[in-house]
Each structure stands twice: as structure tokens, then as C-alpha cells.
Amino acid sequence: MDIRISHVSGIHSLPVELLADIAKFTESPALCAFRLTCRAMYQSSLYHFAQTFVHTLKTDLSPKSLSRVKEAANDEIFRPCVRKLEIVRNSKGCLGPLSPDITLKGTYIQAWRHVMKRLVNCQSFELRNSTYTTPKTGGDGITLDEATGLILEAMATEHIPMESFSINITKYRSRAHQDNLTQFGITTFGIPAFSHLKELSLVIPDAESGTIDWMAKTIQCAKSLKKLTILFSYKCESTSLLSQLSSVGCLPELEELTFSRMSLESSAALAIFLYSIQNSLRRVTFSFLQLEFGGWRSILRELGGGVYQLDSVNLHSVLEVDKPLSFRRIPEYHLAKASLDKRLYRPFQLCFIDQEDLDFSYSGPALQQVLQKVAIFAELA
């Protein structure tokens, strides 16, 4: 008798709405355990589970992966929860094990377009480890593998409203060993697809003129961009890129900027670009960026001159004429990694200098005064 009463009055007998509310207040491991207890709890917590865990779908472009993503795209509960699609290449850097019947290829591509369009709330896309080849003789820009081209073309064709886009092109495939991959010229990708972007990350292997022009047009089109990250493979000459981005009003809302592995003929190009975004810029990070002799100290004086309203500055292995800038002589808070803003009762990083004296970062009060001192005491290693 007691057993029967306990069974009837168990937690699973509570109204479905109450079980759903209980699920909202459980941590991730407890939520998973909660859902395994019985069918009623599994069903009642499904919506909260989807909101908690189905934020990002990570996939390659094989038919098997297409089926898995299609299931999420067709599910009424899971579909609106998907906010980000993270796409990685398979081991061959191509579309995957397609049917040898070439007539099925168009159907397959259209299936991916349909899936991406069905994910109505997915506005963030990340393409990782795409392969590329050097351009043909007389050509400009990067030529990507077909897998990456498929996704880019789908975004442009279906007019997907992206808010965040990241492409990481790191794997090199020589033109002599292409394995008969169909290629996709990145400079042919439609620029209007980026018009609603708020975050853009470009990890690009070269600075061919066609690639630079495409990058500039892409960034110029993103008028609502708040965060921009550009990383090249190694010290790519980027003066022409900054020149195209330095027009007033080009990036009116940009707040966070990261440049890495660039080389500029003159610090004036960087100074002009930074001045063009001075009203909105709050956080800057520069790493392995080479200027002329005295160029970085000039930039630091500019940033600390009172025009900018920066919250933080991070420098990592920046160079002047192939020699890294050293911060060993800076007296402010040497090796103090963190402190506490007693007015706001929140931690912030003051001045941090690594053991090799090549990294400098500062966030907090009196940033302009600190940058002026850094400009004075910084020296070539």
C-alpha cells in the first residue's frame, strides 16, 4: 500500500508546466539526470534542454551530417534554438563521400541550402580549417575548396541574415596535389550577405590584391559591425587594406579591433584608420604587427593623446623593423596581473608585462596617462 501511494504521488505526477519550471532551475548535469528518470520528465524538460544545449551545431558536409542537421532543422522545438552553425572540413577537405553520380550533386547542394534556410534563428556561422590553393597564374585572391564554397554560396543565394561570421583558412593544398577538387574563388562570394554583421573574423593565409579588395568591400558593407578580427598567416603587407577602410563613416559602430601578423609600410596608415573609428573604438589588440622604426611609440602616443576613449589596450610581440618592442623599463604596476576597482567593486586588469617583456596589456582608469608612459619607456629588444 505504501509503495502504491509513493508511486502515485511521485514527482512525475506533477503537472507538466510545473516540471518544465523545475527544469529551468537545474544545472546542466542535473538537467540531464532529471530527463533520464522517466518519460514525463524527459518530455516536460525538452524545451529547456534544447535552449540550454542546442545553441551550436558542429558538422562537416557529408551526407550523414546533412541528415543529422536536417533532423534539427525540421524539429519544431530544436530548430528555433540553433543560433550557430560551425562547419569543419572532413579529412579530405572536400564535400565528403558524395555519390559518383554527378547529377545528384545539384540536389545535394540544394538540400544544404534548404536546411540553412530552415534554421531561422541561426545567424552565426563559423567555417574552420578550410583548405585553399594558391591562385592560378595571372589570377588574384584565394581559391577555396568546394566545401567552403558551397556554404558561402548558400549564404549569398538564400540571403541568410548573418550577424556573426568567422572563416579560418589554414590548411594549404598545393595546386599540384588537389585531388581533383572543384575550386571556389572567394572573391566571387556576394558582398551583400555581410550587410547585417555585428562580428566578423577573417583568418586569411595571404594578402593577394584580389583577396585584399574582397576583404575591404566585405568590411565596408558591414555598417553595423562591432567586432572585427583579421589574422594573416605571417606579416602580410596590409597598407592597401587599411587605406580602403579609412574613410570616415566606414565603420561607425566598431568597438573591438584585433589585428595580427600584418606588416605596414608606415604607421601613418594605422594611425589614419584608428582615427577614422575613434568615436566608437573601445578595445584594441595588436599582435605580431610590424611597423617602421619608432612607429609603435608614435601609435601609443596617439592612443594616449586624449582623443580616444579606450577601455583596454593589448600588445603582443609587436615589431619595429623586425625587432620586437620591449616593455621591461615600464615602472607602472610591473607584473601585477590584476587589481580591484574599489569604486565599482569589480576586477580589472591593470598593467601586465610577461616574463619576456614583449606583452603589454592595460584596462582600467588612467589609460591615457599609462599609454603616454609606455610610449616613453618602450624600447627595441
- For 27-62, b/e burial (b = at least 16 CB within 10 A) is eeeebeebbeeeeebeebbbbbbbebebeebebbbb
Report yes or no on 178 lying in a domain. no
Residues 164 and 120 in one domain: yes
Q: Would you state the pLDDT for residue 9?
A: 56
Do 263 and 273 lie in one domain? The reply is yes
Q: Residue 364: what pLDDT? A: 77
At 211, the amino acid letter reads T
Q: Specify the pLDDT at position 1.
A: 43
Split into its structural domains, the chain has a count of: 2
**Structural domain that includes position 256:** 54-133+141-171+190-346+353-380
> Residues 47, 59: one domain?
no
Q: Please indicate, yes or no, if residue 4 is contained in any of the structural domains.
A: no
pLDDT of res. 112: 81
| Domain assignment present for 2 | no
Q: What pLDDT score was predicted for residue 348?
A: 38
* Residue 375 near residue 297 (C-beta atoms within 8 A): yes
Mean pLDDT in order along the chain per 10 residues (381 residues): 49 62 65 69 72 82 84 89 83 47 65 85 82 55 67 74 83 50 63 84 82 87 92 84 87 94 92 94 93 94 91 91 86 43 38 64 83 88 80
Q: What is the predicted pLDDT for the residue at 242?
A: 94
Strand partners, 86: 58, 126
At 102, which CATH number? 3.80.10
Residue 297 near residue 344 (C-beta atoms within 8 A):
no
The reported pLDDT for the residue numbered 123 is: 86
What pLDDT is attached to residue 195?
Answer: 83
On whether both 126 and 237 belong to a single domain, the answer is yes
Cβ–Cβ < 8 Å for 257, 286: no
Give the per-residue pLDDT at 7.
47
